[in-house]
Structure formats: C-alpha cells, structure tokens
Amino acid sequence: MRCFIALELPLEIKIKLGDIIGQLKKTGADVKWVDPANIHLTLKFLGETPEADALRAGLALSTLKGKFKAIDSGLGGLGAFPSVDRPKVIWAGLSQGAEEIKEIYRQVEKLTADISQEDKAREFSPHLTLGRVRSNKNLMQLRDAINQAVILQKGFEFNRLVLLKSTLTSEGAIYSELNGVELV
C-alpha cells in the first residue's frame, strides 16, 4: 500500500485553502488541484509499503503521543517549487511554526528511517501542496495570481500526526487513516 505521514489541518483552514484554490483556478492554468479535504502537511512519504512495515510505522508514531505541544501556526503566503517563474508545484507557506514542525519531522525520520523510499537528499521544507502544474497553459496568469495573492492571517494549531494510506483513482487520491497520534 502507498503510505505517508502527515500533520492534519483544522477543517476551517482546509476551507480557506479551498477558497484560495478557487481563486487560482480562475487563471485557467492547467493544474491538477488538490481536493481541499485532502490538504495536509506531509512529513514523510513512505511510498509503496508492505502491510507489516505500515504497521511498524504506525507503532513507531504511537511513541510520539503526548511528546510535543500544539504547534501554533498560520498561513503565510503562496509560492511554487522550483520557483514562481517555473512553477511545478503550487504551495501555501506557513507564517510560523516551521522549526517545531522540523523537529517533529526529525523524530519521524528517525523512527521510520528503515521503512521509507523517500529521497533523503532533499531538504525538508514545511508547506501545504495546493496543486501540480501539468502544462504551460496560462502560466503567466498563474504567476501573477500567486504573486498578487493576499492571504489573511489566520492562526491555527497542528496537534495531530497521522499515517495515511493513499489510493490513487482516476478521480484523484483517496486517503484513509491507518493510525493517528495526538501530539499533545
């Protein structure tokens, strides 16, 4: 099964990100947008994972229960990887909480180092993926919309870590929670 570990977002933030996606869709850019209900902050992609390893990952995450305090965060603007000039992945950034999230990432990485297929050469950068660009159609309009976006500051907390199973369908990914851990 295809699995990953993520921090859950409050519903109201998913709704707000859905509004932002709605604004970006008006550019007519060819982007595969993430269903707002599925937006999360991925800490580690495990890839195709045998059931026994998924169980081990879930048990490892359980050891983090109550080990952290809630992470105060907030939406902090839009951007793109590798850059807004050459967008491939459209993301929303965080206004605060990045260092605390990186500490959780380091703990998750340590606990699941022998399970993952993730590219460890990449530096972890906390972000919320909103969509993936499929072609150059209306890229100028998309770049302008990203650069001009105004995101009202709305604070929220990350307080739940989840192990999710991802099932790819023609309609998009379907996520199923395999294990959830309260950080506080």
| Residue 40: active-site member | yes
As a whole number of angstroms, the distance between CA 105 and CA 60 comes to 13
| Residue 127: active-site member | yes
User: In sequence order, what DSSP letters do the residues of 103-145 get, joined into one string?
Assistant: HHHHHHHHHHTTT----TTSPP---EEEEEE-SSTTHHHHHHH
Active-site pick, 127, 143, 160, 165: 127
As a whole number of angstroms, the distance between CA 173 and CA 167 comes to 5
Residue 75 and residue 93 in contact, taking contact as beta carbons nearer than 8 Å:
yes
As a whole number of angstroms, the distance between CA 49 and CA 159 comes to 25
Measuring CA to CA, how many Å separate 72 from each of 12, 121, 125, 158, 180? 15, 28, 17, 7, 19
Active-site pick, 4, 20, 21, 40: 40
As a whole number of angstroms, the distance between CA 42 and CA 35 comes to 15
- Residues known to be catalytic: 40, 127
